[in-house]
Amino acid sequence: MELARAGALHRDGRLDEAVTHYRALLKASPDAFDVARLLVLALLQSGRLGEAQAAARKARDAHRTNPHAHLLMGAVRQAEAKWDKALDAFEKARELDPRFVEAHYLAGNALAQLGRLDAAVACYDCALALQPALEEALTNRAVALSRLGRSEAALADCDRALALNPRDPQRHLARAGTLLELGRFAEATQAAEAARQLAPALADAYFLKGQGLAGQADVDGAHAAFAAAVNIAPDRPAFQAALVRTERQRGHLDEALRLAEAALARNGAAAALWQELAELRRERKEPEGARQAVERALALDPRAPGALTTKARLLIDQGEAAPARALADQALAIDPTFPMARYLRAADDLAEGRWAEGWSLYESRASFLPPPYRPLPFTEWDGRVEPDELVVVGEQGIGDQILFGRLLRLLGDRGIRTRFLTRPRLVPLLSRIDARVRVVSDLSDLDTSAPGLFWAPLASLPRLIAPDPALWPAPPYLNADPGRVARWTGRLPGGFTIGISWQGDPSAAVDIGRSVPLDMFAPLAGLDGVELVSLQHGFGAEQLDACPFGARVARLGPDWDADGTFIDTAAILQHLDLVVSVDTSLGHLAGARGRPALLAVKAAPDWRWGRETDRPPVYPSLRLVRQETPGDYAGVFARITRMVAALKRGESL
């Protein structure tokens, strides 16, 4: 009767009264373990940890051969976050009863907290061998497997847990998170949406949906999902940071700044928000503000891989490659899978000519440089089997497709039937790399169920077939259309004719330190006998109207490249004495055509141009003119002007 009354008080939340009754019962019957267990639980629930520990120790000492007594002691140690002592208690319970499912499960949890993930998985295995439908063990094993990098096995556990309880939104969320780790973004989006349908006010469902959409390059959709997550849970820094990030990616830098500053006013101790502010300041070309923000992030969380890599990128902007590499290494020591750290290491390796290591790590680009096409619905090629047909997917910018496009010739040499999938406007230009390769902008006529069909991203071809650029087809490997060459004969100015370009991709994330104002070309325009021709397309071309020497720069007219990217420019290069450009795709085109060009590049340029040499190995006809001081393009163009004057005198570059 008294035990029933105490239990009723316990269930009603009248914990202090329940504790009083349990103590009275134990005083009358000191060996009543069930009463001791209920007392400990009531003390834990009321936050009286010291009393709970004393009661649990007394129960354990009185019942040393009872595995439940050791489990109870472990539960108290767990509540105290003393995981090593909790583990000792759970291990003793397992030893006393090898079939004690809960002891195996709780030992796994303690091991996971201690970072001993392989041992944690082994404990969960024991629990599930005894009780295959134990959802909590499946879910926690999935988390441990994910942290071990065994995402496929983790996904199998998520699927099993979901099958046991398909109406639990948390099961769908766990599956979505694991699919994100695997890069299966469309499926992750679907799983997060399933969780949202079950629980419309679940902020995490919107957040994971946003991550899935971001992985599919749907920045607007991701932004809407992150905004919904923030609306439900406005004080979650991860949600706020994601919203700032997508606003920045949409090019709305002022709104991103407003959101970041408002979020930091609410939560100034959020390292993730300071990191996003640093990225935003960097894109706004405010390096000092970016440095201050990233230092705040690192002061709050010195082990944040994202903040470490943001600081590394700021150092690279200043030409400090070695300390940037050290920061990337530090981030990888903390999280060996962190994509940006792997990418920075790849870029450093490739810039230094460490090809095998670089190409392997370069696969990390897929995590934050989404290709223009989705992964294809058939097997990705690993380079080990000979495909009956291979679809190579164009990715990243125009320059990359020109740079890596030469490797299509190696596939042709091996007799591999190849299609190259690219943007419609690039088809005419890239079709002139190799007649054996069919260049297309859609795959509507492809039988995707055909055996022996594989696909590969274009920039993965070096890793798969030719790591050393010395073995790549040498320029010129991209031919101009002879009809176009003839079409432009006599249409350009006479004299020493130079094609110029001053503005690359205008997006803030890409253009940091690359482009220059057209005014930088003034010394070149002042040389006698030099004629300038604008090869600037789109953004930046409007500067011609305001430039003091704009009238001296020939314009090519509305029919130029009207029916395909660079299709006329490739031919026009044949009629030029020289190209002078900043780091844009025009430099790649000149290099692929084997035409002479001077490229103005920042102090620590993109890895494609190497570190020290002024002759990039991938394009022997190019000459790099590097900043001697970060940010000093005036000095670069003064040197270019002297070099052009020497060329006019008949000297060689």
How does pLDDT run across 514-565, given as a tens digit for each residue? 788 999 999 999 999 999 999 998 888 899 888 898 888 999 988 899 999 9
Give the single-character DSSP code of 518: G
Phi-psi region of 557 (alpha: psi -120 to 50; beta: other; left: phi over 0): left
- Is 60 exceeded by the pLDDT of residue 371? no
Q: Are residues 430 and 505 in the same domain?
A: no
Q: Are residues 403 and 542 in the same domain?
A: no
Identify the pLDDT of residue 169.
95
Q: Are residues 393 and 503 in the same domain?
A: no
Average pLDDT of the chain to the nearest whole number? 91
Domain hosting residue 598, numbered range: 482-648
**Confidence grade of residue 1 (pLDDT, cut at 50, 70, 90):** low
End of a domain among 471, 493, 519?
A: 471
Task: Compute the distance between CA of residue 466 and CA of residue 29 in angstroms, rounded to an integer.
Answer: 79
Q: Are residues 487 and 627 in the same domain?
A: yes
Query: What is the mean pLDDT of the segment spanning 79-91?
Result: 94
Q: Are residues 590 and 642 in the same domain?
A: yes
Asked whether residue 403 is assigned to any structural domain, the reply reads yes
- Is 60 exceeded by the pLDDT of residue 4? yes
Asked whether residue 343 is assigned to any structural domain, the reply reads no
Q: Are residues 450 and 588 in the same domain?
A: no
Q: Are residues 421 and 524 in the same domain?
A: no
Q: Are residues 488 and 575 in the same domain?
A: yes
The widest CA-to-CA distance across the chain, in whole angstroms, is 112
Q: Are residues 510 and 628 in the same domain?
A: yes
Asked whether residue 605 is assigned to any structural domain, the reply reads yes
Query: What is the mean pLDDT of the segment spanning 579-601?
Result: 95
Give the three-class secondary structure for 64: coil
pTM confidence score: 0.79
Give the number of other Cβ atoms within 10 Å of residue 388's Cβ.
12
Give the whole-number percent of the chain exceeding pLDDT 90: 70
Asked whether residue 575 is assigned to any structural domain, the reply reads yes
Q: Are residues 596 and 642 in the same domain?
A: yes
**Confidence grade of residue 370 (pLDDT, cut at 50, 70, 90):** low
Phi-psi region of 369 (alpha: psi -120 to 50; beta: other; left: phi over 0): beta
- Is 60 exceeded by the pLDDT of residue 44? yes
Identify the pLDDT of residue 57.
92
Count of domains in the chain? 3
Higher-scoring residue by pLDDT: 494, 501: 501
324-352 in b/e burial notation, b at 16+ Cβ within 10 A? bbebbebbbeebeebbbbbbbbbbbbbbb
Q: Are residues 407 and 489 in the same domain?
A: no
Asked whether residue 507 is assigned to any structural domain, the reply reads yes
Asked whether residue 240 is assigned to any structural domain, the reply reads no
Query: Please, are residues 182 and 167 in contact by the beta-carbon 8 Å criterion?
Result: no
Q: Are residues 444 and 492 in the same domain?
A: no
Q: Which CATH number is 536's domain given?
A: 3.40.50.2000
End of a domain among 10, 26, 56?
A: 56
- Is 90 exceeded by the pLDDT of residue 24? no
- Is 60 exceeded by the pLDDT of residue 372? no
Q: Dump the DSSP string for 305-364.
A: HHHHHHHHHHHHHTT-HHHHHHHHHHHHHH-TT-HHHHHHHHHHHHHTT-HHHHHHHHGG
Asked whether residue 598 is assigned to any structural domain, the reply reads yes
Q: Which CATH number is 40's domain given?
A: 1.25.40
Asked whether residue 632 is assigned to any structural domain, the reply reads yes
